[in-house]
């Protein structure tokens, strides 16, 4: 969500901060600002809207100084206006903050009673004001910061700077990620390693409850108990940060087209021994004795988990519960002795998913994390971390991370099935051989892009509402198709199990509501055929996503038909996923929406 950049540098800070903030645009934001310290005095520039507005302001009113803080804000408390943009100032203190301070109203009332004023509607301004109040009582900045952190309740990643302290920055995290970058006589802070990519590859990740005192040449970290702590130094190569659009007009389209290569990379990691068997770090958990797997995730990752549930139950005969992470811990569900919980998160920092993980650990569950960022909080806190190897995903709407999650879940399913005895060694080799066709199948699906683009522009783009339907493995894909469409086109879309249409949703069907039917010719095709004909009998306009056999049976009756590659039924999610991504992308393109940064959305949801 919000982005943080902090610099104690040797060069003018504002241009470097602005460039780093641009690398965080994918996270979603609605205002931005920078504060810089020059001659012992801080000055700031803030604007609502995109970074281009801030850049114009800085060109007209430059900021001097080699120390500074920058921020992109996704509104939680207060409107997306300049007064609510970060950095916030109170007396000699400036702060940038991600997260939510739950007790900010109580703190604000106490500070107002002491005579302090406030210029914003945000919870974040309370942090700077509280710290300034402690300074007024005679505390030095480090002690004032510690006293401030002790009063805060909620989730935060934050950085503080002080007038008269050109070589000092204090940062802290609780519930939201923060990383420190080490340069040559410089120190950097970011909410995401990607922001620091041009500056350094030497990184220290703060752990939960940590706070750090930084100078250009030193770093002192304190843990949640106030004790000095050592955190490991990570070395990242330039390729780990790669995030350029290249010849593509949008990151989303680039990332869609990267999927054959991503699939090949994922397969390589799961078949590293090269003997036709699965390589998985979770193999040592004794899956033959696991009574139940609980999967917790949010959004698209949760839908990947729904596909994984079907595979695991059908192929490995492992009972699986799929949980929406934001609801999971509030239900206080009983978890079985000997059970395992798998959390799925692209960023590895999703607040609700992290909370679900901690609930599972407290309940005595062994834990797995399927993440795209191997240094993330979830990766560090689970018993076993499984990497998706999707590479940086910048577009807010997930594409390659989703298919990478699916491929990992299918590889995981094969490993579990082998341990539970539902597949033998020969079966395992056949499955791995079939999985090796996924990069080719995705590439063949991408070849259908012109037909998908035409259908998107002609059939979906003019609509105000749309329905996606599927059965079996296609039901979670129907939900994902509806989610993708609403995320980037702002068309109201719903996904339904096709067999449930008669139980209410068919009342929505008429000639103005296109229905996208995910209809591979699998064992459920005959059932879906009947559902589709029920839609068409009510003047419903059906956009059919199917294979050659399905097109031969239903293509003439459908409004529009897209023919996708033939493949084994259990591989259809990869083909259909790419098709619905392209459908949503080209519909958004036709409607002229902001594809990579859709309104109101953030890439990494680090608040509840």
- Total residues found in the chain within this entry: 608
Under DSSP, the state recorded for 40 is: T
Query: Does an H or E element contain 229, and which?
Result: strand 228-229
Secondary structure of 44-88 in the HEC alphabet? Answer: EEEEECCHHHHHHHHHHCCCCCCEEEEEEECCCCCCCCHHHCCCE
Secondary structure of 481-498 in the HEC alphabet? Answer: HHHHHHHHHCCEEEEEEH
* CA–CA dist 478, 474 (Å, integer): 6
* CA–CA dist 268, 270 (Å, integer): 6
Say whether 475 sits in a helix, a strand or coil.
Answer: helix
Say whether 162 sits in a helix, a strand or coil.
Answer: strand
Structure-token pair, residue 36:
């810089």
Q: Which of 254, 484, 486, 603 is catalytic?
A: 603
Q: Is 97 left (phi over 0), alpha (psi -120 to 50) or beta?
A: beta
> Which of 466, 510, 462, 512 has its CA nearest to residue 486?
466
Query: What one-character-per-residue DSSP string does 532-571 give?
Result: HHHHHTTT-EEEEEE-HHHHHHHTTTSSEEEE-----GGG
Q: Is 2 a catalytic site residue?
A: yes
Residue 232 near residue 220 (C-beta atoms within 8 A): no
- The pairing of strands 293-297 and 514-518 is unpaired
Q: How far is CA 341 from CA 177, 284, 371, in A?
A: 22, 15, 14
Q: Is 298 a catalytic site residue?
A: no
Q: Which of 2, 280, 298, 408 is catalytic?
A: 2
* CA–CA dist 27, 54 (Å, integer): 17
Q: Which residue has the tokens 């989730």?
A: 155
Catalytic residues: 2, 603
């Amino acid at each position: 969500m919000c982005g943080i950049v902090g610099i104690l540098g040797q060069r003018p800070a504002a241009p470097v901060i602005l460039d780093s903030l641009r690398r965080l645009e994918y996270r979603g934001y609605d205002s931005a600002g920078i504060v810089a310290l020059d001659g012992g005095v801080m000055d700031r520039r803030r604007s609502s809207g995109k970074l281009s507005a801030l850049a114009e302001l800085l060109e007209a009113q430059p900021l001097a100084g080699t120390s500074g803080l920058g921020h992109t804000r996704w509104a939680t408390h207060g409107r997306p206006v300049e007064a609510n943009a970060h950095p916030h100032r109170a007396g000699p203190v400036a702060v940038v903050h991600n997260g939510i301070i739950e007790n900010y109203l109580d703190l604000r009332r106490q500070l107002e009673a002491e005579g302090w004023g406030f210029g914003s509607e945000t919870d974040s301004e309370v942090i700077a004001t509280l710290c300034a109040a402690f300074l007024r009582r005679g505390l030095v900045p480090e002690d004032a910061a510690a006293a401030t952190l002790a009063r805060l309740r909620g989730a935060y990643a934050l950085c503080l700077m002080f007038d008269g302290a050109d070589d000092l920055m204090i940062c802290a995290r609780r519930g939201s990620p923060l990383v420190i970058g080490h340069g040559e006589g410089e120190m950097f802070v970011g909410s995401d390693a990607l922001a620091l990519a041009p500056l350094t590859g030497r990184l220290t990740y703060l752990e939960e409850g940590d706070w750090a005192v930084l100078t250009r040449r030193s770093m002192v970290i304190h843990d949640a108990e106030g004790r000095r702590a050592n955190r490991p130094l990570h070395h990242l190569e330039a390729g780990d940060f790669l995030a350029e659009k290249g010849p593509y007009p949008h990151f989303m389209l680039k990332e869609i087209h990267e999927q054959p290569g991503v699939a090949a990379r994922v397969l390589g990691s799961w078949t590293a021994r090269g003997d036709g068997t699965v390589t998985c770090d979770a193999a040592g958990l004794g899956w033959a004795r696991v009574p139940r797997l609980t999967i917790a995730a949010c959004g698209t990752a949760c839908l990947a988990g729904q596909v994984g549930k079907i595979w695991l139950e059908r192929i490995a005969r492992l009972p699986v519960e799929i949980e929406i992470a934001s609801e999971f811990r509030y239900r206080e569900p009983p978890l079985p002795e000997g059970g395992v919980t798998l959390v799925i998160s692209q960023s590895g920092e999703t607040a609700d998913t992290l909370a679900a993980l901690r609930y599972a650990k407290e309940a005595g569950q062994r834990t797995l994390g399927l993440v795209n960022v191997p240094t993330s909080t979830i990766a560090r806190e689970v018993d076993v971390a499984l990497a998706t190897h999707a590479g940086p995903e910048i577009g807010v709407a997930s594409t390659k991370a989703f298919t990478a999650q699916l491929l990992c879940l299918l590889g995981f399913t094969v490993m579990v099935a082998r341990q539970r005895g539902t597949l033998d060694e020969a079966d395992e080799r056949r499955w791995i051989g079939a999985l090796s066709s996924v990069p080719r199948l995705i590439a063949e699906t991408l070849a259908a892009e012109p037909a998908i683009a035409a259908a998107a522009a002609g059939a979906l783009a003019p609509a105000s509402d749309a329905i996606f339907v599927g059965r079996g493995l296609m039901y979670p894909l129907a939900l994902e198709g509806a989610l993708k469409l609403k995320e980037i086109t702002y068309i109201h879309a719903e996904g339904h199990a096709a067999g449930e249409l008669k139980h209410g949703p068919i009342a929505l069907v008429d000639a103005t509501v296109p229905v996208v039917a995910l209809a591979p010719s699998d064992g459920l095709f005959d059932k879906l055929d009947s559902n589709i004909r029920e839609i068409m009998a009510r003047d419903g306009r059906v956009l059919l996503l199917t294979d050659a056999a399905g097109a031969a049976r239903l293509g003439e009756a459908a409004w529009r038909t897209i023919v996708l590659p033939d493949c084994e039924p259990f591989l259809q999610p990869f083909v259909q996923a790419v098709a619905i991504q392209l459908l949503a992308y080209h519909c958004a393109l036709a409607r002229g929406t902001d594809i990579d940064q859709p309104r109101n959305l953030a890439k990494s949801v680090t608040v509840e």
